[in-house]
Amino acid sequence: MANSEISRRDILMGARYMAATPLIGTAMAHPPFQVKAVSKLKGAAKSVIIPTHEFAGPNGAPWIEERIDFPASWDLHVMDMAGHNLPVLTPQQIAEQSSQPIGSKSLRELAEGKKTVAISFDDLTRTTPAYAVTPWLMSELAKAGIKDENVLFIGSFGTHRAMTQEEVGRKLGPDVARKYAWLNHDVFDNVKEVGTTTRGNKILLNQTFLGADLKICISGVKVHQDAGYGGGAKAILPGLAALPTVEYNHTQILTKVRTTGPVKIFKNDMRLDMIEAARMANVDYTIQILYNDRLRPTRIWAGDIVESHHAGVRVAAKTYCTPTFKDADIVVANAYPQNAQAFHGGLWINYSVRDGGTGVMIVQHPLGLDPVHYLNNRLAGRGGATQFDLTARRVSGGAGRGGRGPAKQVNMIVYSQYLTRNMRNSYRTGTFFYDKWEDVIAKLKELHPGDPKVAVYPYAGMQHQEIELDG
């Protein structure tokens, strides 16, 4: 099937997308993207297909597939997560799993007799395929007698930047984004105090969400380096919280306890603070989505915002876990599907590379390292620090917010066709930047003559180590 014959629905659902595989290193124009296939790297016989451009593919596609080529003699290891080959849910399976609530009544029962409905959804830095569940969700609300004009979607992205109509369409599906009203959460205003947590956090939440008769959250279950996993109560805190509330949770609690970390959910003080806030918000129903490396749903849990999330993370811990390749000469970490915060994927470099080896970060997204994060920007300026001061603080041992640098002595290469000067400034000094894959390979040959051992993490932004849950 030619690309021109693919329907909008097929593209949004990720079905039958990408009849041909372009080579990484091909210049990508800003939307509409112009993907051009080029010949293989000379002498290359080993290739890896990786997904890039989350939610930024042509015509709204949720990814682009690209090819990275390696010399035939190199010792190449592709590190897939345990659940990389899980089957994708059909629309019928999505409806069935979304209709089996854990710890709550069914959505239709909850909606009966209600008038106004608020539905939260995360932004494009969190790659939840919300578009996969919105058709079922809106159908159920309609069957319960909810009028279209009384449904309001609210962007639940905490201290991130506001979204545009086009971006909301990519997240919810263009038809849903046009048919139903939506608004951006305002971290600075229009909030209401609902109480104080046992950890001393004054909870200020979006008053429009609180004012709805029926409150629903759509979230994705993906590893988070501090809160254990994304999803669940994070839809409320930080999702719909005011800046002071988010700051307290992310600084006062995070920096004073040692219970936070990836895959830590049940005994994580930061997460427990979030759960208290979600309970204060009186969320009625949630849909938690587990998804694959192409952002298509593989499992759904619905119902209570805490209980359904706990059920989800128990499966996620066995799905996203990935073996750690040790002492690789070269580690290639693809920051997808969280390029905006590429350090998540960059952590794999430190896990796997040997001392004296080379880490390669792939940051393939038009937004690059999305620089708008009001909490990070605020904290960076503490003590009167200016951007000049922050740039001067870069040291050879760290890679900045673009990729938390290895503690070892490691060469760093960043491959991207999109990074601006200020984005490059977030990496440690001595980092090599290339916008052509063949230039990356040439540098790697220079640094590692012979036949190096190479570990590739093809979607590092969602993979996590084989870590046991904390409860």
Residue with tokens 């205003």: 189
pTM of the model: 0.89
Position 4 scores a pLDDT of 30
**Residue 407: what pLDDT?**
62
Q: pLDDT in tens for each of the 471 residues of the chain?
A: 333 332 334 333 433 333 344 545 543 433 434 344 444 566 667 999 999 999 998 877 889 999 999 999 999 999 999 999 999 999 999 999 999 999 999 999 999 999 999 999 999 989 899 999 999 999 999 999 999 999 999 999 999 999 999 999 999 999 999 999 999 999 999 999 999 999 999 999 999 999 999 999 999 999 998 999 999 999 999 999 999 999 999 999 988 888 999 999 999 999 999 999 999 999 999 999 999 999 999 999 999 999 999 999 999 999 999 999 999 999 999 999 999 989 889 999 999 999 999 999 999 999 888 768 888 878 877 888 887 777 776 643 443 444 444 568 999 999 999 999 888 888 888 999 999 999 999 999 999 999 999 999 999 999 999 998 987
Find out whether 426 and 402 touch, Cβ atoms under 8 Å.
yes
Residue whose C-alpha is closest to residue 463's, from 125, 84, 132: 84
Q: Is the CB of residue 201 less than 8 Å from the CB of residue 214? A: no
Could you tell me which residues are beta bridge partners of residue 152?
Answer: 118, 181
Strand bridging mode 353-362 / 202-206? unpaired
Can you give the residue ranges of every domain in the chain? 3-81+323-457, 91-319
Enumerate the β-bridge partners of residue 39.
Answer: none
pLDDT at 247: 95
Tell me which fold the domain 91-319 belongs to: Rossmann fold (3.40.50)
